[in-house]
Structure 1
C-alpha cells in the first residue's frame, strides 16, 4: 500500500501480523520483492 508505507507513516507491522495469523491456522506465508512491489503468497489448509 503506497499510502501506508514507511515513508508516509506506516510502521511495517502488516506482514508480521499476517504471518502470525497464517501460522496460527497451520498455513504458510512467503513474501518476495518484485519489480512491481511486494508479492505475498499465502497457503492455508482446507477444511474437510
Structure 2
C-alpha cells in the first residue's frame, strides 16, 4: 500500500519553495506557466464599496 498527498504551490514570481526537497524531481513534478509578475503587498486600507 502506498499513501501520499498532493501539494500545490502557486507563486507569482516562480519561486520553487520545495526545490531543496526534490531537486532532481524524482518523486515530484513541476508545471510552470509563462506568466510571471512581481508580487505586490495587500493594501493597508479597506476598499470602499458602493
Q: How would you bin the TM-score normalised by the shorter chain?
A: under 0.3
Relative to the length of structure 1, the TM-score reads 0.22
Larger Cα-atom Rg: 2
Q: Relative to total residues, which structure has the larger strand share, 1 or 2?
A: 1
Relative contact order, higher structure (CA 8 A, sep 6+): 2
TM-score, length-normalised on structure 2? Answer: 0.22
